[in-house]
């Protein structure tokens, strides 16, 4: 699917742009991840500081993830999905707030 992307000339800022665009009809959306993370945290009655302690992250990192300004590493993403008992697909594809999950 992404075979035509040349990683040699890609800069960090390009990865951020790739994540925000729906390239090649990619169903995974970073903006939904941010929205879903905030929704799940709030629905579990947790503050950003509390979820940060659970994930061994600073509160500001959670804030950046929820605002879409940054994106967690894969291992952290997996940990978040496991903690909230949700699949990665659901975290990136479904709008959990609209579905009241």
Question: Which domain does 49 fall in, by range?
Answer: 12-18+27-99
Total count of domains within the chain: 1
Could you tell me if residue 75 is inside a domain?
yes
Whether the per-residue pLDDT at 12 is higher than 80: the answer is no
- Are 84 and 33 within 8 A, CB to CB? no
pLDDT single digits (tens) 81-92? 999 999 988 898
Of 80 and 4, more confident = 80
pLDDT for 26: 52
Q: Where are the alpha helices (DSSP H) in the chain?
A: 12-20, 30-43, 48-55, 59-67, 74-83, 88-93, 96-99
What's the whole-model pTM score?
0.70
**Which is more confidently placed, 68 or 45?**
45
Task: Answer yes or no: is pLDDT of 98 > 90.
Answer: no
Cβ contact 34:41 at 8 Å = no
Quote the CA–CA distance of 69 and 13 in Å, as a whole number: 11
Between CA 86 and CA 70 the distance in angstroms is 21
Which pair of tokens denotes residue 49?
Answer: 């500081």
Name the residue among 17, 44, 31 with its Cα closest to residue 93.
31
Is 2 among the domain residues? no
Look over the chain and give the mean of its residue pLDDT values, rounded to a whole number: 77
């Amino acid at each position: 699917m992404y075979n035509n992307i040349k990683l040699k000339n890609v800069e960090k800022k390009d990865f951020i742009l790739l994540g925000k665009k729906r390239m090649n009809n990619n169903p995974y959306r970073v903006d939904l991840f941010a929205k879903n993370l905030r929704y799940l945290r709030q629905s579990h009655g947790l503050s950003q500081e509390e979820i940060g302690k659970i994930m061994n992250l600073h509160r500001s990192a959670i804030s950046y993830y929820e605002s879409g300004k940054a994106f967690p590493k894969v291992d952290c993403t997996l940990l978040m999905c496991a903690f909230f008992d949700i699949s990665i697909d659901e975290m990136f594809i479904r709008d959990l707030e609209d579905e009241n999950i």
